[in-house]
Amino acid sequence: MSIHHEASELSTQLTTWRRHLHAHPEVSFQEFETQKYLLDQLESLGLKPYRIGQTGVAVDIGEGSKGVAIRADIDALPIQEESNWPFRSVNDGVMHACGHDGHTAILLGVAKILASRQDQLPGRIRLMFQPAEEKIPGGAKLLIQDGVLDGIDRVLGLHLSSDMPTGTVGAVVGAQTANADSFTIDIEGQGGHGSQPHLSIDPIIVGSELTLAIQSIVSRSMNPRSPVVVTIGTFHSGANFNIIAPRARLTGTVRTFSVEDRRQVRRRLEELVAHISAAHGAHAVLDYVEGYPSVTNSERETSIVREVAARLPGIQSWMDIEPLMAGEDFSYYQEVCPGTFFMLGCRNEEQEAIWPHHHPRFTLDENALPLGVSLLSETALQYLLLP
């Protein structure tokens, strides 16, 4: 039986796995029950999984000097689900709103298919069920520190996309996601009564000027041909209408694709924070946190995904997608091994699979699950044949 046919036959089981995971989500670094569930499911396939990265799971299938690793992320988000699906989350305030339940179900399907073929594999395929993709510093670093890439030559992963119809596949050769950084600006002013502003140093005024000035970083300090995003996400200050608060806090995010742009944005933030606060007699501190680096797909490995997709029944088209400003810690694996992270469509308007990722009504077209199993399995086998 072909891998595609076997994956199609797994549709019911894939749906069962996905719906169980969807109903029992756990946030980053807390995936203890998910870990137990995965260990049970993999052991039932006759495999020998092991714990890794605190709440992660890994398992090897096959033997040999060549190794390929496939990753699925297993964590959910701190979001209250608003759907009425019978398999909706039973954990208040936690939801699989990014498709990680689908990723995990797909990798379980890969495990089932490859387990029955492990004596025929031309090498070793390691499945990585990774925790904490949604929260910096991310689970990928933990797995790497625990040796998950030891003896591995190439890495492979996918992300379901509600922007792409089911049956479509896409990727970018080179930078596919952005460097995803965050920052906090703490402003120390001098509080006082709202009727006597001359006796105070108003941190809200300082924060407001900073908010506007920061927008000039992209429009006036960066090359307009280089995609850069700088966003202020929160502004907190004050407790009463007639009191000038003593302090304020701003938080935001920076998205860039190049190391040079990343450094330039950080330098300009530091300059604006220092000079604008000083001009008002306030004191401000910038805490800049470098997040996940850019996912960068290698050319040869990406071309293999495209070749596999072209001959796979059920795949309607390949999309040369545009780079995404999102962040993704799969990039840490690619700093060690070449590989590809591709997008698999899961949008289906008839099934209400139309909501964006991280939306409280997000869901996915489960018809995409067997396609993901076929793509990952076939591509991993092709990677093992590379010199």
What is the domain partition of the chain in residue ranges?
3-177+294-384, 179-289
CATH topology of domain 179-289: Alpha-Beta Plaits (3.30.70)
Which pLDDT belongs to residue 304? 98
Which pLDDT belongs to residue 365? 98
Which pLDDT belongs to residue 1? 78
Q: What is the pTM of this model?
A: 0.94
Cα–Cα dist 213/273, whole Å: 9
Residues of the chain predicted below pLDDT 50: none
The gap from C-alpha 221 to its chain's centroid, in whole angstroms, comes to: 28
Of the residues 6, 73, 75, 181, which is catalytic? Answer: 75
Of the residues 133, 153, 365, 366, which is catalytic? Answer: 133
| Degrees, nearest 5: CA angle 331-337-339 | 70
The verdict on whether 75 is a catalytic residue reads: yes
CATH topology of domain 3-177+294-384: Aminopeptidase (3.40.630)
Cα–Cα dist 211/208, whole Å: 5
The verdict on whether 133 is a catalytic residue reads: yes
Which pLDDT belongs to residue 110? 98
Which pLDDT belongs to residue 339? 97
Which pLDDT belongs to residue 221? 96
| Degrees, nearest 5: CA angle 73-76-80 | 160
